[in-house]
Structure 1
Amino acid sequence: MKYSYLGRSGLKVSRLCLGTMNFGVDTDEKEAYRIMDAALDAGINFVDTANIYGWGTNSGRTEEIIGRWFAQGGGRRERTVLATKFYGDMHDKNDGPNQGGGLSAYKLRRHLDASLKRLQTDHIELYQMHHVDRHASWDEMWEAYQVPILQGKIGYVGSSNFAGRDLVKAQYEAKSRHQLGLVSEQHKYSLLCRLPELEVLPAAEELGIGVIAWSPLDGGLLGGNALKPIAGSKRASNPERADKHRTQLEAFSSLCKELGESEANVALAWTLTRPAMTAPIIGPRTLEQLESSLRAVDIELNADVLSRLDDIFPGPGGEAPRAYAW
């Protein structure tokens, strides 16, 4: 496994981040344990989750699975850089009118303490805002974050689904308070979703914020099976998305065959070449999927291959403002 600093922090994390969104949903608890054990053995020390995973009235289930895995001991917690997120509705009637999404000081305190309990730990290395909340000011949010940071409950702060302007505002306000601010931004990014290259990636790179790419295979479209009508696959449930990108996906598949690599691993390897990129999130449903993904960190894509990928999956035209003008 290879490692990278998480943004401008001094914390090193694996260049693949284990996503746990499927745990307790499509992946049962026993298989989730096997995946997490194998990930640690392979050198993946970076594990991402969220309080809402499990979804709906089962929100929190994924954190509970991870907590029970930690409780087995064997250095599992000590070897893991744990990241979780808050913002969404936890379907707790005690939240009253604050039951919906938000980043208020009230939600941060309640949801952090609840996550710590489910995860069976006393600290979280990276506590991330899962979405932007236009109703919560940075005065409120940075002050609210400072309390658990000083208590040792939180190591670093991250964001997710923030625009470039949100990253700039967050860091400006943090600097005025002599705080570190954000060390990471978790963002949807892939060969099929290159819009972040306009604003988010340049802002993150300039501000020293590490980017964590979610959905680097674009919901499975870049996984190699999108054009095959496999029962129960994403292709079978939503063929329109695959058909829309058929020409691109066929060209991509041909290129991957030339390289002798799987489509999924080439897509992940491409993500790792991007500016400010710390790690893409892999979301295996099975141990076999995890083991297959490990190859991605060792794939070297030369300039010619990167150029061909640009031809197949054109970006937005460069960074702003050049992409908007000339």
Structure 2
Amino acid sequence: MKYVTLGRSGLKVSELCFGAMGLGQDWNWGADRQTSFELLETFANAGGNFIDTANLYTDGTSEKLIGEFIQSHRDSFVIATKYTLADTRPGIKAVLDGQKGNVNGTGNNRKNLLRSLTESFKRLKTDYIDILYLHIWDHLTPIDEVMRAFDDVVSRGLVHYIAISDTPAWVVSRAQTIAELRGWAQFVALQVEYSLQQRTPERELIPMAQELGLTVTAWAPLAGGALTGKYLKGEKGRLPENSKRLSAQAEAITREVIGIADRYKVPPGVVALRWTMQQPFKSIPIVGATKVSQLKENLMALDFKLEPEDFQHLNVVSAIDLGFPGAFYREEGVRQSVYGGYFDKIDHPNLPK
């Protein structure tokens, strides 16, 4: 395991992050208590120190299990959790079934942030959180309220670093700029769905992350298991038959991954993970697992690297339409006009390739 600094901070995290959404069986799937501890131990023994969870994952059981596991060596781990979504009893499944709860027990507001943080402390058996994510933008709370509340909990030592997930690029940009100008705590990471099957963040979110110095923490880097090829073999999983991750286009990408994996004699998932890790920006895939065998297979990505030609081939077969203005910048006439014919002689990471 190698380590990288998160965003523009000095915080050192492992190059793979363990995704803990599957710890606990409250949602009728996932790992039981013993398996959860085995998963965490396997990750730690491989050098992993970066664990990602959220206040509502398995109705709080995920945080509870992590809290039990890290008790004797809390400072060795970087625990990232999230606030926004409903985590009040009788649980998220009940909320989704229409049962109402605390109207301020959800969302990005200051009250819910502090309430969620207090409950996460109890479940994790800790008095500080390493990284606190805003889980998803609620389209209600003023941006300055969010950033001032974040700065308050950082100033009080309750949270060490802040990050944001599943939020439009314009919101993140404005929030980060407000924080920078006012001397408040700034985001160090951006969590988005990103994989060979989901590259739409390349339109706005990832260029923004590069400019603002945010590490991209990629959730579903294996597209819910589709990129492992198991669905092509007829194996069952949690993806519904009409999932976009099982579409004809998605299947074509998966077959290309399998072809490359066969040549390297590694599992397809290792190729898909390594593609995410080898991006020209700071990118850490979040690897979820409910079986130790799955996690050990994912950890094979640590000792594997794609050759440039294979990396580029995967880029081509999974390419998306960047739309406007991304595709516009790549037009030859535009390049010539903007760079005066010197485009190919200018070496800069931001140029549209």
Corresponding residue for residue 40 of structure 1: 44
Give the letter for the 1:203 counterpart.
Answer: M
Superposed displacement of residue 95, structure 1 = 6.2
Corresponding residue for residue 223 of structure 1: 228
Instruction: Report matched runs for 1:141-180 at 5 Å.
Output: 141-180=146-185
Report the 3-state secondary structure (helix = DSSP H, G, I; strand = E; otherwise coil) of the residue aligned with 1:111.
helix
Contact 2:273 2:285 in 1 (8 A): yes
Structure 1, unmatched stretches of 5+, are none
Structure 2, unmatched stretches of 5+, are 91-99, 332-353
Corresponding residue for residue 308 of structure 1: 313
Report the 3-state secondary structure (helix = DSSP H, G, I; strand = E; otherwise coil) of the residue aligned with 2:216.
strand
Superposed displacement of residue 248, structure 1 = 2.8
Give the letter for the 2:231 counterpart.
Answer: A
Superposed displacement of residue 242, structure 1 = 2.6
Give the letter for the 1:28 counterpart.
Answer: D
Larger-gyration structure (1/2): 2
**Separation (CA, whole Å) in 2 of partners of 1:70 and 1:36:** 9
Corresponding residue for residue 34 of structure 2: 30
Give the letter for the 2:163 counterpart.
Answer: G
Contact 1:226 1:234 in 2 (8 A): no
**Separation (CA, whole Å) in 1 of partners of 2:37 and 2:153:** 29
**Separation (CA, whole Å) in 1 of partners of 2:128 and 2:237:** 37
Instruction: Report matched runs for 1:102-113 at 5 Å.
Output: 102-113=107-118
Aligned: 1:88 with 2:91: no
Corresponding residue for residue 238 of structure 1: 241
**Separation (CA, whole Å) in 2 of partners of 1:312 and 1:234:** 26
Structure 1's 246 and 317: CA in aligned 2 closer, same or farther, altered over 3 A?
same
**Separation (CA, whole Å) in 1 of partners of 2:193 and 2:204:** 13
- Once the two structures are overlaid, the 10-residue window that deviates more, 246-255 or 279-288, is 246-255
Structure 1's 14 and 107: CA in aligned 2 closer, same or farther, altered over 3 A?
same
Corresponding residue for residue 193 of structure 2: 188
**Separation (CA, whole Å) in 1 of partners of 2:88 and 2:198:** 31
**Separation (CA, whole Å) in 1 of partners of 2:80 and 2:219:** 13
**Among the aligned pairs, what percent are the same residue?**
33
User: Of residues 125, 131, 139 in structure 1, which corresponds to 2:136?
Assistant: 131
Report the 3-state secondary structure (helix = DSSP H, G, I; strand = E; otherwise coil) of the residue aligned with 1:252.
helix
Give the letter for the 2:241 counterpart.
Answer: N
**Separation (CA, whole Å) in 1 of partners of 2:307 and 2:186:** 35
**Separation (CA, whole Å) in 2 of partners of 1:171 and 1:37:** 35
Report the 3-state secondary structure (helix = DSSP H, G, I; strand = E; otherwise coil) of the residue aligned with 1:98.
coil
Contact 1:209 1:276 in 2 (8 A): no
Contact 1:201 1:275 in 2 (8 A): no
Superposed displacement of residue 92, structure 1 = 4.5
Superposed displacement of residue 286, structure 1 = 1.1
Greater RCO structure (CA 8 Å; 6+ sep): 1
After superposing on structure 2, the runs of 4+ consecutive aligned residues of structure 1 that deviate more than 4 Å are 92-95
Corresponding residue for residue 321 of structure 1: 325
Give the letter for the 2:15 counterpart.
Answer: R
Give the letter for the 1:78 counterpart.
Answer: D
Corresponding residue for residue 259 of structure 2: 254
Contact 2:257 2:271 in 1 (8 A): no
Report the 3-state secondary structure (helix = DSSP H, G, I; strand = E; otherwise coil) of the residue aligned with 1:121.
coil
**Separation (CA, whole Å) in 2 of partners of 1:249 and 1:139:** 42
Q: TM-score, normalization: structure 1? A: 0.91
Corresponding residue for residue 65 of structure 1: 65
Contact 1:7 1:278 in 2 (8 A): no
Superposed displacement of residue 69, structure 1 = 1.7
CA RMSD of aligned residues (A): 1.9
- What count of residue pairs does the alignment treat as equivalent? 315
Contact 1:272 1:278 in 2 (8 A): yes
**Separation (CA, whole Å) in 1 of partners of 2:195 and 2:283:** 14
**Separation (CA, whole Å) in 1 of partners of 2:217 and 2:162:** 13
Report the 3-state secondary structure (helix = DSSP H, G, I; strand = E; otherwise coil) of the residue aligned with 1:321.
helix
Offset from partner CA, 1:54-97 (integer Å, 9 cap, x none): 0xxxx1111111112223x2x2x121100000100123589632
Give the letter for the 2:205 counterpart.
Answer: V
Give the letter for the 2:86 counterpart.
Answer: D
Give the letter for the 2:82 counterpart.
Answer: K
